[in-house]
Structure 1
């Protein structure tokens, strides 16, 4: 049983994650959301409400507990005009299908959309510049080829099928869905994919040709561990938010 204190801690973490996405330019304005699994049948998710001000200004009060069908997950959770995002099925279908996933991020990074529309896949074109991002890209980042609002289980199932067993899927003409075992992991994966998309566009604009990192170089990249890749990286992301707190 998740305690009220644990829920409050997770609400704050999701709130921070939303602001990181906005500060990094992955979720401009009011679009985008993050969810986190709470037990087998519930999730915390950034909701729509009368006091929301956009992702950069997300607070724990914007994060509400719902069940997998979008009903309140506890007393008063959707009181006062709050409602789950239209694309809640995007989150819940991933959580229903992928038992290895505890967090789902949905964002609209312009560079990811532009790179995909230009025919530029997310590939391991970099090396030590971003080791986790390189490894993610080397495993493949699939594309869901429909530019639709993922508003029901039918469309969400299509997206999940495109995602497969991978951590991130690009949504054509729309954005991306990123997953992880924690908010930090899912958000940082989205940031890495956005970074590779930006570099891909820069290289293409400069007239260059995108080339995958050679296998021998990929094999030389060390795993710097979760303390560095997640903990230190996340502290940095939170520190970048300080001017907008």
Structure 2
């Protein structure tokens, strides 16, 4: 289900391995890596945020909180557990040892129930994205070749869900999904963002692009500048560099950054 999954890199010591299920092990590793990428990039500070991946019609893998929760920066494959759309364990052992799905599990499951084109969902709390939205700054195609996938995503529109609530049940999740419509990313006012895609890698890279545009927009406005959308003729000139570059190469870069940034962490933990 994930065409560019890579072996885990540079993880700190963590809890015991998750329940058996060899076919799911690479997917657990991919989600754990992605959680750590979000944290390393500043989109998921502390213990907030989570990523999920559809496994079949009724089940998904999702980052759960365990008895020794340390936050996304310290996620290991053991934190990625299999549950069904109602939060019940996908196998009898999956939620053993004090693990539980996040309170906002419905945020993930309602997207997966509603959007057949989606396999992965990530929810994060990027401070600059929240700040830009509260300042009335929309995510617009203000950049071009600087970030081509981001420019195209912004040009298609990034809607805003106006409620800054914890999306803890299907009613609240359905409201968010309605705000999201058919777009890949929705901002959650005073809260964060939800990104959805066909793979874990894509949904995280989308979130990174939105965060990048929000940061640039805040800098421009803070410097007294005025945000202007990319000219249509320039947008038309932007090539589609393809998934091999936009996703696979970009994801290898994120994993390489992650491995390098994890070196001091491994020393602290005595690895």
Show the counterpart of 1:102.
119
The one-character-per-residue Cα deviations of 1:145-201 (angstroms, maximum 9, x if unpaired) are 000000000000000000000000000000000001000000000000000000000
Match of 2:63 among 39, 42, 46: 46
Check if 1:132 corresponds to 2:140.
Answer: no
Q: How much has 1:49 moved relative to structure 2?
A: 1.1
Asked whether 1:244 is paired with 2:262, we answer yes
1:34 is matched with 51
Partner of 1:117: 134
Please provide the CA RMSD for this pair: 0.9
Which residue is equivalent to 2:86? 69
CA distance in 2, matches of 1:6, 1:58: 20
- Distance in 1 (CA, whole Å) between partners of 2:159 and 2:205 is 18
Deviations 1:100-138 (A, max 9, x none): 000000000000000000000000000000000000000
Q: 1:241 is paired with a residue of what secondary structure?
A: helix
Q: Could you tell me whether the CA contact under 8 Å between 1:52 and 1:62 is conserved in 2?
A: no
Q: Across the two proteins, how many residue pairs are aligned to each other?
A: 243
Q: 1:14 is matched with which residue?
A: 31
Q: Distance in 1 between matches of 2:121 and 2:91?
A: 21
Deviation at 1:51, TM superposition (A): 2.3
Once the two structures are TM-superposed, the CA of residue 81 in structure 1 deviates from its matched residue by 0.6
Matched, 1:226 2:234: no
The one of the two structures with greater contact order (alpha-carbon pairs below 8 A, sep at least 6) is: 2
Structure 2 CA distance for aligned equivalents of residues 52 and 239 of structure 1: 25
Which has the higher mean CA deviation after the structures are superposed, 217-226 or 51-60?
51-60
Q: Distance in 2 between matches of 1:54 and 1:155?
A: 25
Give the ranges of 4+ consecutive aligned residues of structure 1 lying more than 3 Å apart after TM superposition.
none
Structure 1 residue ranges without an equivalent (≥5): none
SS in 1 for 2:153: helix
Instruction: Give unmatched runs, 5+ long, in structure 2.
Output: 1-19, 264-271
2:99 and 2:149 mapped to 1: Cα distance?
36
The secondary structure found in structure 1 opposite 2:96 is coil
Q: Equivalents in 2 of 1:152, 1:244: separation in Å?
A: 35
Q: 1:88 touches 1:151 (CA, 8 Å); kept in 2?
A: yes
**TM-score normalised per structure 2:** 0.89
Give the TM-score taking structure 1 as reference length: 0.98
Q: Matches of 1:237 and 1:153 in 2, distance apart?
A: 33
- The SS at the match of 1:80 is helix
Partner deviation per Cα, 1:66-121 (whole Å, 9 max, x = no partner): 00000000120000110000000000000000000000000000000000000000
Deviation at 1:219, TM superposition (A): 0.2
Within the candidate set 97, 106, 125, 1:89 is matched to 106
